[in-house]
A and B are shown apart, each in its own frame.
Chain A
Amino acid sequence: MKFDRKAFEYFYALLIIFLLWYMISQIVNINLIPSPILVLENLSKTFKSKIMIHVEYSLFRILMGILLSLIIGVPTGIVMGYFSRIDKLLSPIVYLIYPIPKIAFLPIVMLLFGLGEMSKIFMITVIVVFQVIVSLRDAVKGIPESMYYSIYSLGGSWFQLLREVIIPASLINILTSIRVALGTAISVLFFTETFGTEYGIGYFMMDSWMRVNYLDMYSGIIVLSLMGIVLFSVIDFLEFIFCRW
Protein backbone atom coordinates (compact mmCIF):
# COMPACT_ATOMS: atom_id res chain seq x y z
CA MET A 1 0.00 0.00 0.00
CA LYS A 2 2.62 2.43 1.11
CA PHE A 3 4.95 1.41 -1.67
CA ASP A 4 2.33 1.48 -4.39
CA ARG A 5 1.82 5.08 -3.48
CA LYS A 6 5.54 5.75 -3.60
CA ALA A 7 5.82 4.18 -7.02
CA PHE A 8 3.00 6.36 -8.20
CA GLU A 9 4.73 9.46 -6.81
CA TYR A 10 7.93 8.62 -8.65
CA PHE A 11 6.03 7.98 -11.84
CA TYR A 12 4.31 11.32 -11.50
CA ALA A 13 7.64 13.10 -10.91
CA LEU A 14 9.19 11.40 -13.92
CA LEU A 15 6.27 12.36 -16.09
CA ILE A 16 6.54 16.04 -15.19
CA ILE A 17 10.31 16.13 -15.68
CA PHE A 18 10.09 14.41 -19.05
CA LEU A 19 7.30 16.70 -20.14
CA LEU A 20 9.32 19.81 -19.27
CA TRP A 21 12.37 18.34 -20.90
CA TYR A 22 10.43 17.52 -24.04
CA MET A 23 9.03 21.03 -24.26
CA ILE A 24 12.44 22.63 -23.84
CA SER A 25 14.00 20.34 -26.42
CA GLN A 26 11.29 21.23 -28.91
CA ILE A 27 11.62 24.95 -28.28
CA VAL A 28 15.42 25.29 -28.46
CA ASN A 29 15.84 22.53 -31.00
CA ILE A 30 19.63 21.99 -30.71
CA ASN A 31 21.79 18.84 -30.43
CA LEU A 32 22.82 19.69 -26.89
CA ILE A 33 19.28 19.10 -25.64
CA PRO A 34 17.88 16.10 -27.45
CA SER A 35 14.30 15.02 -27.01
CA PRO A 36 13.79 12.65 -24.09
CA ILE A 37 12.10 10.23 -26.44
CA LEU A 38 15.29 9.82 -28.42
CA VAL A 39 17.28 9.47 -25.19
CA LEU A 40 14.98 6.78 -23.82
CA GLU A 41 15.13 4.98 -27.11
CA ASN A 42 18.92 5.13 -27.02
CA LEU A 43 18.91 4.01 -23.40
CA SER A 44 16.79 0.96 -24.05
CA LYS A 45 18.97 0.01 -27.00
CA THR A 46 22.36 0.48 -25.35
CA PHE A 47 21.72 -0.22 -21.66
CA LYS A 48 22.68 -3.87 -21.68
CA SER A 49 25.55 -3.64 -24.12
CA LYS A 50 27.10 -0.34 -23.12
CA ILE A 51 25.88 1.03 -19.81
CA MET A 52 25.32 -1.96 -17.55
CA ILE A 53 29.01 -2.51 -16.82
CA HIS A 54 29.41 1.11 -15.74
CA VAL A 55 26.46 0.84 -13.41
CA GLU A 56 28.01 -2.21 -11.80
CA TYR A 57 31.29 -0.45 -11.16
CA SER A 58 29.62 2.66 -9.79
CA LEU A 59 27.28 0.72 -7.54
CA PHE A 60 30.17 -1.29 -6.17
CA ARG A 61 32.11 1.88 -5.32
CA ILE A 62 29.15 3.59 -3.68
CA LEU A 63 28.17 0.57 -1.66
CA MET A 64 31.74 -0.12 -0.54
CA GLY A 65 32.25 3.52 0.35
CA ILE A 66 29.06 3.67 2.40
CA LEU A 67 29.70 0.31 4.01
CA LEU A 68 33.18 1.37 5.10
CA SER A 69 31.82 4.67 6.41
CA LEU A 70 29.24 2.81 8.46
CA ILE A 71 31.77 0.32 9.79
CA ILE A 72 33.96 3.18 10.97
CA GLY A 73 31.35 5.85 11.65
CA VAL A 74 28.63 3.99 13.55
CA PRO A 75 30.82 2.64 16.38
CA THR A 76 32.74 5.92 16.62
CA GLY A 77 29.54 7.94 16.74
CA ILE A 78 27.95 5.67 19.35
CA VAL A 79 31.02 5.72 21.60
CA MET A 80 31.24 9.50 21.28
CA GLY A 81 27.55 9.89 22.00
CA TYR A 82 27.54 7.68 25.06
CA PHE A 83 30.85 8.51 26.72
CA SER A 84 31.06 12.27 27.06
CA ARG A 85 34.78 12.10 27.90
CA ILE A 86 35.58 10.46 24.62
CA ASP A 87 33.34 12.97 22.90
CA LYS A 88 35.29 15.84 24.43
CA LEU A 89 38.49 14.26 23.19
CA LEU A 90 37.36 13.46 19.66
CA SER A 91 34.90 16.23 18.84
CA PRO A 92 37.52 18.93 18.20
CA ILE A 93 39.34 16.59 15.85
CA VAL A 94 36.15 15.71 14.00
CA TYR A 95 35.10 19.36 13.77
CA LEU A 96 38.51 20.37 12.48
CA ILE A 97 38.61 17.79 9.72
CA TYR A 98 34.92 17.72 8.82
CA PRO A 99 34.71 21.03 6.91
CA ILE A 100 37.93 20.56 4.94
CA PRO A 101 37.03 19.90 1.31
CA LYS A 102 38.52 16.44 1.24
CA ILE A 103 38.43 16.42 -2.55
CA ALA A 104 41.46 18.71 -2.25
CA PHE A 105 43.41 15.70 -1.02
CA LEU A 106 42.66 13.79 -4.18
CA PRO A 107 46.20 14.07 -5.56
CA ILE A 108 47.59 12.70 -2.30
CA VAL A 109 45.01 9.95 -2.13
CA MET A 110 45.86 9.00 -5.70
CA LEU A 111 49.54 8.82 -4.84
CA LEU A 112 48.89 6.71 -1.76
CA PHE A 113 46.20 4.40 -3.06
CA GLY A 114 46.86 4.43 -6.78
CA LEU A 115 44.46 5.19 -9.56
CA GLY A 116 42.29 2.12 -9.05
CA GLU A 117 39.26 1.27 -6.96
CA MET A 118 40.96 1.90 -3.62
CA SER A 119 41.41 5.62 -4.11
CA LYS A 120 37.82 6.08 -5.27
CA ILE A 121 36.31 4.15 -2.40
CA PHE A 122 38.62 5.85 0.05
CA MET A 123 37.55 9.24 -1.23
CA ILE A 124 33.86 8.46 -0.77
CA THR A 125 34.50 7.01 2.67
CA VAL A 126 36.58 9.88 3.93
CA ILE A 127 33.87 12.36 2.96
CA VAL A 128 30.85 10.40 4.07
CA VAL A 129 32.20 9.02 7.34
CA PHE A 130 32.05 12.39 9.11
CA GLN A 131 28.37 12.81 8.37
CA VAL A 132 27.76 9.37 9.82
CA ILE A 133 29.83 10.06 12.94
CA VAL A 134 28.20 13.38 13.72
CA SER A 135 24.63 12.22 13.14
CA LEU A 136 25.13 9.04 15.18
CA ARG A 137 26.76 10.89 18.02
CA ASP A 138 23.88 13.35 18.20
CA ALA A 139 21.36 10.54 17.97
CA VAL A 140 22.88 8.70 20.91
CA LYS A 141 23.19 11.91 22.91
CA GLY A 142 19.50 12.52 22.32
CA ILE A 143 18.42 9.27 23.95
CA PRO A 144 16.72 10.24 27.22
CA GLU A 145 18.56 9.02 30.30
CA SER A 146 15.40 7.34 31.57
CA MET A 147 15.54 4.86 28.69
CA TYR A 148 18.73 3.49 30.18
CA TYR A 149 17.36 3.23 33.71
CA SER A 150 15.46 0.01 33.29
CA ILE A 151 18.54 -1.71 31.88
CA TYR A 152 20.77 -0.24 34.60
CA SER A 153 18.46 -1.40 37.37
CA LEU A 154 18.36 -4.88 35.86
CA GLY A 155 22.13 -5.09 36.06
CA GLY A 156 22.45 -5.23 32.29
CA SER A 157 25.87 -5.16 30.69
CA TRP A 158 27.01 -2.45 28.32
CA PHE A 159 26.54 -4.88 25.49
CA GLN A 160 22.91 -5.40 26.49
CA LEU A 161 22.43 -1.65 26.76
CA LEU A 162 23.81 -1.37 23.25
CA ARG A 163 21.58 -4.09 21.86
CA GLU A 164 18.34 -3.26 23.64
CA VAL A 165 18.50 0.53 23.73
CA ILE A 166 21.27 2.37 21.91
CA ILE A 167 21.17 0.62 18.55
CA PRO A 168 17.37 0.44 18.19
CA ALA A 169 17.06 4.03 19.37
CA SER A 170 19.53 5.28 16.80
CA LEU A 171 18.62 2.92 13.97
CA ILE A 172 16.39 5.48 12.31
CA ASN A 173 19.24 7.99 12.49
CA ILE A 174 21.62 5.44 11.01
CA LEU A 175 19.26 5.11 8.05
CA THR A 176 18.88 8.88 7.79
CA SER A 177 22.64 9.29 7.84
CA ILE A 178 22.92 6.77 5.01
CA ARG A 179 20.35 8.76 3.09
CA VAL A 180 22.36 11.95 3.50
CA ALA A 181 25.56 10.06 2.80
CA LEU A 182 24.12 8.61 -0.38
CA GLY A 183 23.59 11.98 -2.01
CA THR A 184 27.11 13.04 -1.13
CA ALA A 185 28.55 9.70 -2.17
CA ILE A 186 27.01 9.92 -5.63
CA SER A 187 28.41 13.38 -6.27
CA VAL A 188 31.85 12.39 -5.00
CA LEU A 189 31.63 9.25 -7.10
CA PHE A 190 31.00 11.23 -10.24
CA PHE A 191 34.04 13.34 -9.59
CA THR A 192 36.37 10.43 -8.85
CA GLU A 193 35.19 8.59 -11.92
CA THR A 194 36.37 11.32 -14.23
CA PHE A 195 39.99 10.19 -13.87
CA GLY A 196 42.02 7.00 -13.90
CA THR A 197 39.25 4.65 -14.90
CA GLU A 198 37.40 3.45 -17.93
CA TYR A 199 34.43 2.19 -16.00
CA GLY A 200 31.76 3.85 -13.97
CA ILE A 201 28.74 5.91 -14.84
CA GLY A 202 30.69 9.12 -14.25
CA TYR A 203 33.28 8.05 -16.75
CA PHE A 204 30.58 7.04 -19.20
CA MET A 205 28.97 10.47 -19.04
CA MET A 206 32.21 12.40 -19.38
CA ASP A 207 33.35 10.15 -22.20
CA SER A 208 30.10 10.58 -24.12
CA TRP A 209 30.31 14.29 -23.62
CA MET A 210 33.84 14.45 -25.07
CA ARG A 211 32.74 12.37 -28.03
CA VAL A 212 29.81 14.73 -28.48
CA ASN A 213 27.43 11.80 -28.09
CA TYR A 214 24.70 13.65 -26.26
CA LEU A 215 22.23 10.80 -26.44
CA ASP A 216 24.63 8.62 -24.45
CA MET A 217 25.40 11.42 -22.06
CA TYR A 218 21.75 11.98 -21.24
CA SER A 219 21.22 8.24 -20.95
CA GLY A 220 23.98 8.26 -18.35
CA ILE A 221 22.30 11.06 -16.44
CA ILE A 222 19.02 9.16 -16.39
CA VAL A 223 20.74 6.02 -15.23
CA LEU A 224 22.52 7.89 -12.46
CA SER A 225 19.29 9.35 -11.18
CA LEU A 226 17.58 5.96 -11.39
CA MET A 227 20.43 4.51 -9.34
CA GLY A 228 19.70 7.17 -6.76
CA ILE A 229 16.00 6.34 -6.68
CA VAL A 230 16.70 2.64 -6.31
CA LEU A 231 19.17 3.19 -3.47
CA PHE A 232 16.87 5.60 -1.65
CA SER A 233 14.00 3.16 -2.04
CA VAL A 234 16.12 0.39 -0.53
CA ILE A 235 16.68 2.58 2.53
CA ASP A 236 12.98 3.42 2.74
CA PHE A 237 12.27 -0.26 2.60
CA LEU A 238 14.77 -1.01 5.37
CA GLU A 239 13.15 1.66 7.49
CA PHE A 240 9.77 0.13 6.84
CA ILE A 241 11.06 -3.28 7.95
CA PHE A 242 13.12 -2.29 10.98
CA CYS A 243 11.38 0.78 12.31
CA ARG A 244 7.81 -0.45 12.37
CA TRP A 245 7.04 1.11 15.70
Chain B
Amino acid sequence: MVKVEGLTVRYRTNEGYFTALKNINLNVDDGDILALVGPSGCGKSTLLHVLSGIINTYEGKVTINGEKVNTKKHRIGLVLQDYGLLPWKNVYENAVLGLKVKSRLTSDDRDYALFILDRLGLKEFIRRYPQKLSGGQRQRVAIARALILKPDILLMDEPFSALDEITREEMQELFIEIQKEYKVSTIFVTHSIEEAVYIGKKIAVMSKSPGTIKQIIHNETYGLKDKRLCREFYDLTIKIRKDIKEEWST
Protein backbone atom coordinates (compact mmCIF):
# COMPACT_ATOMS: atom_id res chain seq x y z
CA MET B 1 0.00 0.00 0.00
CA VAL B 2 1.23 3.42 -0.94
CA LYS B 3 0.22 6.34 1.23
CA VAL B 4 0.75 10.04 0.69
CA GLU B 5 -0.30 12.34 3.52
CA GLY B 6 -0.14 16.10 3.56
CA LEU B 7 2.58 16.24 0.92
CA THR B 8 3.80 19.71 0.06
CA VAL B 9 6.77 20.34 -2.21
CA ARG B 10 8.48 23.68 -2.64
CA TYR B 11 11.22 24.54 -5.09
CA ARG B 12 13.73 27.25 -4.64
CA THR B 13 13.88 29.50 -7.66
CA ASN B 14 15.50 32.84 -8.32
CA GLU B 15 12.32 34.63 -7.27
CA GLY B 16 11.99 32.75 -4.01
CA TYR B 17 10.01 29.64 -3.24
CA PHE B 18 7.65 28.07 -5.71
CA THR B 19 5.02 25.67 -4.42
CA ALA B 20 4.73 22.76 -6.81
CA LEU B 21 2.44 20.56 -4.75
CA LYS B 22 0.15 21.52 -1.90
CA ASN B 23 -1.26 19.19 0.70
CA ILE B 24 -1.60 16.07 -1.40
CA ASN B 25 -3.38 13.09 0.16
CA LEU B 26 -3.56 9.82 -1.72
CA ASN B 27 -3.42 6.14 -1.24
CA VAL B 28 -3.06 3.20 -3.57
CA ASP B 29 -4.13 -0.22 -2.35
CA ASP B 30 -2.04 -3.24 -3.22
CA GLY B 31 -2.49 -4.21 -6.82
CA ASP B 32 -4.54 -1.16 -7.73
CA ILE B 33 -4.02 1.44 -10.40
CA LEU B 34 -4.39 5.07 -9.55
CA ALA B 35 -4.54 7.33 -12.56
CA LEU B 36 -3.42 10.83 -11.83
CA VAL B 37 -4.67 13.35 -14.31
CA GLY B 38 -3.93 17.05 -14.42
CA PRO B 39 -2.96 19.88 -16.73
CA SER B 40 0.63 20.46 -17.80
CA GLY B 41 2.78 21.95 -15.11
CA CYS B 42 0.50 20.98 -12.25
CA GLY B 43 3.20 19.02 -10.49
CA LYS B 44 2.26 15.49 -11.55
CA SER B 45 5.84 14.65 -12.37
CA THR B 46 6.99 16.23 -9.13
CA LEU B 47 4.72 13.86 -7.25
CA LEU B 48 6.24 10.90 -9.05
CA HIS B 49 9.72 12.18 -8.35
CA VAL B 50 8.91 12.26 -4.66
CA LEU B 51 7.54 8.72 -4.77
CA SER B 52 10.55 7.48 -6.71
CA GLY B 53 13.00 9.04 -4.29
CA ILE B 54 14.43 11.51 -6.79
CA ILE B 55 13.14 14.43 -4.72
CA ASN B 56 13.92 14.11 -1.04
CA THR B 57 13.01 17.48 0.41
CA TYR B 58 9.31 17.76 1.06
CA GLU B 59 6.79 18.19 3.85
CA GLY B 60 4.36 15.46 4.78
CA LYS B 61 4.51 11.71 4.85
CA VAL B 62 5.07 9.39 1.91
CA THR B 63 5.14 5.70 2.72
CA ILE B 64 5.30 2.43 0.83
CA ASN B 65 4.03 -0.54 2.86
CA GLY B 66 4.17 1.55 6.00
CA GLU B 67 7.75 2.71 5.57
CA LYS B 68 9.12 6.01 4.38
CA VAL B 69 10.19 5.81 0.72
CA ASN B 70 13.67 4.41 0.57
CA THR B 71 15.18 3.75 -2.83
CA LYS B 72 17.59 1.24 -1.37
CA LYS B 73 14.95 -0.80 0.41
CA HIS B 74 11.92 -0.45 -1.82
CA ARG B 75 11.77 -1.69 -5.33
CA ILE B 76 10.50 1.18 -7.39
CA GLY B 77 9.69 0.65 -11.03
CA LEU B 78 9.87 3.85 -12.99
CA VAL B 79 8.61 4.26 -16.55
CA LEU B 80 9.17 7.67 -18.07
CA GLN B 81 7.74 9.45 -21.07
CA ASP B 82 11.08 9.34 -22.85
CA TYR B 83 11.45 5.69 -21.77
CA GLY B 84 14.58 6.27 -19.68
CA LEU B 85 16.50 3.59 -21.57
CA LEU B 86 20.25 3.81 -21.76
CA PRO B 87 21.23 3.99 -25.43
CA TRP B 88 24.52 2.11 -24.92
CA LYS B 89 22.77 -0.95 -23.51
CA ASN B 90 20.86 -3.39 -25.65
CA VAL B 91 17.30 -4.42 -24.85
CA TYR B 92 18.32 -7.24 -22.54
CA GLU B 93 20.91 -5.17 -20.69
CA ASN B 94 18.42 -2.36 -20.26
CA ALA B 95 15.79 -4.76 -19.04
CA VAL B 96 17.97 -6.22 -16.29
CA LEU B 97 19.44 -2.88 -15.25
CA GLY B 98 17.12 -2.61 -12.27
CA LEU B 99 18.07 -6.00 -10.91
CA LYS B 100 21.71 -5.39 -11.61
CA VAL B 101 21.73 -2.20 -9.60
CA LYS B 102 19.89 -3.92 -6.73
CA SER B 103 22.06 -7.01 -6.50
CA ARG B 104 23.97 -9.62 -8.44
CA LEU B 105 22.08 -11.27 -11.26
CA THR B 106 21.23 -14.89 -10.59
CA SER B 107 20.32 -17.36 -13.31
CA ASP B 108 16.71 -17.25 -12.03
CA ASP B 109 16.74 -13.50 -12.60
CA ARG B 110 17.93 -14.02 -16.15
CA ASP B 111 15.23 -16.58 -16.85
CA TYR B 112 12.58 -14.31 -15.39
CA ALA B 113 13.87 -11.38 -17.44
CA LEU B 114 13.70 -13.40 -20.63
CA PHE B 115 10.24 -14.63 -19.68
CA ILE B 116 8.94 -11.09 -19.18
CA LEU B 117 10.63 -9.84 -22.35
CA ASP B 118 8.96 -12.66 -24.22
CA ARG B 119 5.62 -11.85 -22.60
CA LEU B 120 5.93 -8.30 -23.91
CA GLY B 121 6.80 -9.55 -27.36
CA LEU B 122 10.42 -8.46 -27.28
CA LYS B 123 12.15 -11.80 -27.53
CA GLU B 124 13.53 -11.25 -31.01
CA PHE B 125 14.87 -7.82 -30.13
CA ILE B 126 16.93 -8.58 -27.04
CA ARG B 127 20.27 -7.85 -28.75
CA ARG B 128 19.07 -4.62 -30.36
CA TYR B 129 19.97 -1.18 -29.16
CA PRO B 130 17.16 1.28 -28.28
CA GLN B 131 17.95 3.50 -31.27
CA LYS B 132 16.94 0.67 -33.55
CA LEU B 133 13.53 0.24 -31.91
CA SER B 134 10.22 1.97 -32.50
CA GLY B 135 8.66 4.11 -29.78
CA GLY B 136 6.22 1.38 -28.82
CA GLN B 137 8.99 -1.19 -28.57
CA ARG B 138 11.08 1.11 -26.44
CA GLN B 139 8.22 1.67 -24.09
CA ARG B 140 7.68 -2.07 -23.83
CA VAL B 141 11.34 -2.42 -22.86
CA ALA B 142 10.87 0.23 -20.18
CA ILE B 143 7.81 -1.59 -18.83
CA ALA B 144 9.64 -4.91 -18.97
CA ARG B 145 12.50 -3.40 -17.00
CA ALA B 146 10.12 -2.19 -14.32
CA LEU B 147 8.28 -5.54 -14.12
CA ILE B 148 11.46 -7.60 -14.03
CA LEU B 149 12.35 -5.73 -10.89
CA LYS B 150 9.21 -7.18 -9.21
CA PRO B 151 8.45 -3.72 -7.93
CA ASP B 152 6.63 -2.70 -4.74
CA ILE B 153 5.25 0.15 -6.75
CA LEU B 154 5.17 1.01 -10.41
CA LEU B 155 5.34 4.68 -11.30
CA MET B 156 4.49 5.71 -14.83
CA ASP B 157 5.01 9.26 -16.01
CA GLU B 158 2.95 9.87 -19.14
CA PRO B 159 4.35 6.65 -20.55
CA PHE B 160 2.34 6.57 -23.76
CA SER B 161 2.09 10.23 -24.66
CA ALA B 162 4.99 10.12 -27.12
CA LEU B 163 3.41 7.28 -29.09
CA ASP B 164 1.15 7.51 -32.09
CA GLU B 165 -2.50 6.85 -31.47
CA ILE B 166 -2.72 3.27 -32.67
CA THR B 167 0.39 2.22 -30.81
CA ARG B 168 -0.85 4.07 -27.75
CA GLU B 169 -4.12 2.14 -27.68
CA GLU B 170 -2.26 -1.14 -28.15
CA MET B 171 0.08 -0.26 -25.32
CA GLN B 172 -2.76 0.75 -23.04
CA GLU B 173 -4.43 -2.57 -23.62
CA LEU B 174 -1.23 -4.52 -23.18
CA PHE B 175 -0.50 -2.62 -20.01
CA ILE B 176 -3.91 -3.33 -18.51
CA GLU B 177 -3.48 -7.01 -19.27
CA ILE B 178 -0.02 -7.12 -17.77
CA GLN B 179 -1.07 -5.16 -14.73
CA LYS B 180 -3.92 -7.59 -14.08
CA GLU B 181 -1.55 -10.48 -14.43
CA TYR B 182 1.12 -9.18 -12.07
CA LYS B 183 -0.98 -7.07 -9.71
CA VAL B 184 1.54 -4.31 -9.25
CA SER B 185 0.41 -1.22 -7.36
CA THR B 186 0.63 1.49 -9.95
CA ILE B 187 0.46 5.23 -10.13
CA PHE B 188 -0.15 6.28 -13.68
CA VAL B 189 0.34 9.94 -14.49
CA THR B 190 -1.28 11.36 -17.61
CA HIS B 191 -2.62 14.60 -18.96
CA SER B 192 -5.32 12.79 -20.93
CA ILE B 193 -8.66 12.38 -19.17
CA GLU B 194 -9.57 9.63 -21.57
CA GLU B 195 -6.45 7.67 -20.78
CA ALA B 196 -7.02 8.12 -17.06
CA VAL B 197 -10.54 6.71 -17.38
CA TYR B 198 -9.29 3.91 -19.59
CA ILE B 199 -6.54 2.81 -17.23
CA GLY B 200 -7.29 3.86 -13.67
CA LYS B 201 -9.24 2.01 -11.00
CA LYS B 202 -9.22 5.24 -9.10
CA ILE B 203 -8.79 8.57 -10.83
CA ALA B 204 -7.26 11.49 -9.00
CA VAL B 205 -7.90 14.82 -10.69
CA MET B 206 -5.41 17.55 -9.98
CA SER B 207 -5.76 21.30 -10.15
CA LYS B 208 -3.51 23.76 -11.90
CA SER B 209 -0.33 24.86 -10.19
CA PRO B 210 0.19 24.71 -7.24
CA GLY B 211 -1.00 21.15 -7.62
CA THR B 212 -3.70 19.94 -5.29
CA ILE B 213 -6.03 16.98 -5.56
CA LYS B 214 -9.45 18.23 -6.66
CA GLN B 215 -11.29 14.95 -6.45
CA ILE B 216 -10.76 11.24 -6.37
CA ILE B 217 -13.16 9.20 -8.46
CA HIS B 218 -13.77 5.48 -8.17
CA ASN B 219 -13.85 4.37 -11.73
CA GLU B 220 -17.00 2.31 -12.27
CA THR B 221 -15.83 1.33 -15.73
CA TYR B 222 -12.70 -0.37 -14.41
CA GLY B 223 -12.43 -3.88 -15.74
CA LEU B 224 -15.00 -3.44 -18.52
CA LYS B 225 -14.15 -5.25 -21.71
CA ASP B 226 -13.71 -3.28 -24.91
CA LYS B 227 -14.17 -0.14 -22.94
CA ARG B 228 -13.87 2.15 -25.91
CA LEU B 229 -17.09 0.65 -27.22
CA CYS B 230 -19.00 1.29 -23.96
CA ARG B 231 -21.21 4.25 -23.26
CA GLU B 232 -20.13 4.33 -19.59
CA PHE B 233 -16.57 5.06 -20.61
CA TYR B 234 -17.59 8.16 -22.55
CA ASP B 235 -20.08 9.27 -19.92
CA LEU B 236 -17.43 9.27 -17.23
CA THR B 237 -14.93 11.01 -19.48
CA ILE B 238 -17.46 13.71 -20.26
CA LYS B 239 -18.41 14.08 -16.62
CA ILE B 240 -14.81 14.64 -15.55
CA ARG B 241 -14.27 16.96 -18.47
CA LYS B 242 -17.23 19.08 -17.36
CA ASP B 243 -16.03 19.17 -13.78
CA ILE B 244 -12.66 20.47 -14.66
CA LYS B 245 -13.38 22.55 -17.69
CA GLU B 246 -13.36 25.87 -15.90
CA GLU B 247 -10.67 24.89 -13.48
CA TRP B 248 -8.08 23.97 -16.14
CA SER B 249 -8.89 26.56 -18.74
CA THR B 250 -8.50 29.64 -16.58
Contact = CB atoms under 8 A, between A and B. Distances in A.
Interface of A: 146-147, 149-156, 160, 164-165, 168-169, 171, 243-245
Given A165-B86, A243-B88, A245-B87, A149 B72 contact: no
B65 interface: no
Chain A contact residues: over half helix, strand or loop, or mixed?
A: helix
Interface residues of B, number: 29
Interface in B70-88: 70-74, 76, 78, 80, 82, 84, 86-88
A160 B53 CA distance: 16
B129 interface: yes
Chain B contact residues: over half helix, strand or loop, or mixed?
A: loop
Contacts of B76: 153-154
B88 A153 contact: no
Residue among B70, B71, B131 having the largest count of chain A Cβ atoms under 10 Å? B71
Nearest to A160: B101
5 contacts: A146-B84, A150-B86, A153-B71, A164-B86, A245-B90
Given A152-B71, A154-B101, A164-B101, A147 B86 contact: yes
Given A153-B53, A155-B72, 4 more contacts: A149-B52, A153-B71, A155-B102, A245-B87
Contacts of A151: 101
B157 to A, nearest CB: 9
A82 to B, nearest CB: 16
Contacts of A169: 88
B101 A155 contact: yes
Contacts of B102: 154-155
B98 interface: yes
B84 A156 contact: no
A153 B52 contact: yes
Given A146-B82, A149-B78, A244-B129, A154 B98 contact: yes
A161 to B, nearest CB: 9
B71 A149 contact: no
B97 interface: yes
B105 to A, nearest CB: 14
Interface in B84-113: 84, 86-90, 97-98, 101-102
A135 B171 CA distance: 40
